[in-house]
Amino acid sequence: MNRVWSDEERNFIKNNAEQLKDLEIAQHLSKTCGRSVSLQAVRKQRQKMGISKKPGRGICALTNGDITGRDCGVVPHPVP
């Protein structure tokens, strides 16, 4: 059954699309919303909102030229 996305859920996607993978967003929303949110549901909602990501596994970068994303698979280490 399709369910209407709340403003809070949409804002979470908007604010975290650059830092988190869609799967991580789905897992977080599933825990906080009390309902099961699938990867496909998050991806479709993000795309409906006009937020697109660069292709590739583990890449969180958005396709906007003015926003620089990061590779989610690499954890930066502090410089001594």
pLDDT in tens, 4-22: 899 999 999 999 999 999 9
CA 58 → CA 22, 28, 55, 65, distances in Å? 10, 17, 9, 19
pTM for the model stands at 0.70
Task: Inform me whether the pLDDT recorded for 70 exceeds 80.
Answer: no
Contact by Cβ (8 Å): 36, 30: yes
Domain ranges of the chain: 1-62
Report residue 37 as tokens: 């949110």
The string of pLDDT tens digits covering residues 18-66 is 999 999 999 999 999 888 999 999 999 999 999 988 777 666 667 764 3
